Amino acid sequence: MPREKPALQRSQKAPITPRRRWLLATAAAVGLAALGLGLYAVIEPAFQTRIVITTGADNGIYRGFADRYAPILKRDGVTLDIRSSSGSVENYERLKDPASEYQVGFIQSGTTEPQETDHLQTIAAVSYEPIWVFYRGAGTVNRLAQLRGKRIGVGVPGSGLLQVSRTLLGYSGVTPENTQFFEMDAQKASRCLEDGCLDAAFFIGRPDAPTQRALLTSDLKLMSFAQADALVQKFPSLSKVTFPRASTSIVDDLPQADVTLLAATALLVAKDTLHPALVYLLLDAARTAHSGEDYFTPLGAFPNLKTDEFPVASESERYFRSGRPFLQRYLPFWLASFIERRLLILLPFMAVLIGVLQALPRMLESRVKNRFVVWYRELKSLEDEIWRTAKPSTDQLAQWRSEIENIDAQASQIRVPKRYLHDVYALKQAISVVRRRISIAASSADE
Segment 64-68 shows an average pLDDT of 94
pLDDT for 301 beyond 80 = yes
Phi, psi (rounded to 5 degrees) for 204: -140, 140
DSSP string, 316-374: HHHHHHH-S-HHHHHS-HHHHHHHHHHHHHHHHHHHHHHHHHHHHHHHHHHHHHHHHHH
Amino acid letter, 335:
L
- The confidence band for 264, taking pLDDT boundaries of 50, 70 and 90, is very high
pLDDT > 90: what percent of the chain?
Answer: 48
Q: Residue 159: pLDDT above 80?
A: yes
- Per-residue pLDDT of 208-245, as tens digits, reads 888 899 999 999 999 999 999 999 999 999 999 999 99
Q: Is the pLDDT of residue 257 over 60?
A: yes
What is the rounded average pLDDT for all residues in the chain? 85
Q: Can you tell me the mean pLDDT for 371-392?
A: 82
What was the pLDDT predicted at 329? 66
| Nearest C-alpha neighbor of 4 from the set 361, 400, 433 | 400
Note whether 423 and 372 are within 8 A (CB): yes
Region 4-9: what's the mean pLDDT?
Answer: 50
Q: How confident is the model at residue 11 (pLDDT cuts 50, 70, 90)?
A: low
Distance CA 62, CA 266 (A): 8
pLDDT of residue 325: 67
Quote the pLDDT of residue 3.
45
Say what the pLDDT of residue 91 is.
95
pLDDT band at 2 (very low <50, low <70, confident <90, very high): very low
Q: Is this model's pTM higher than 0.75 or not? A: no
Q: How many CA atoms does the CB half-sphere of 435 hold within 13 Å?
A: 12
Residue 15 to residue 19: CA distance in whole angstroms: 12
Q: What is the pLDDT of residue 440?
A: 83
Q: Tell me how far apart the alpha carbons of residues 370 and 414 are, in angstroms, rounded to a whole number.
A: 12
Residue 120 contacts residue 271 (beta carbons within 8 Å): yes
Interacting residues of 15 by C-beta distance below 8 A, sequence separation 6+: none
More confident call, 82 vs 404: 82
pLDDT tens digits, 265-300? 999 999 999 988 889 899 999 999 998 877 888 888
pLDDT at 49 over 60: yes
Task: Give the model confidence (pLDDT) of 310-368 as tens digits.
Answer: 999 998 998 898 877 666 666 666 565 666 656 656 667 677 778 777 877 777 777 77
Q: What pLDDT score does 372 carry?
A: 78
pLDDT band at 427 (very low <50, low <70, confident <90, very high): confident
Percent of the chain with pLDDT over 70: 86
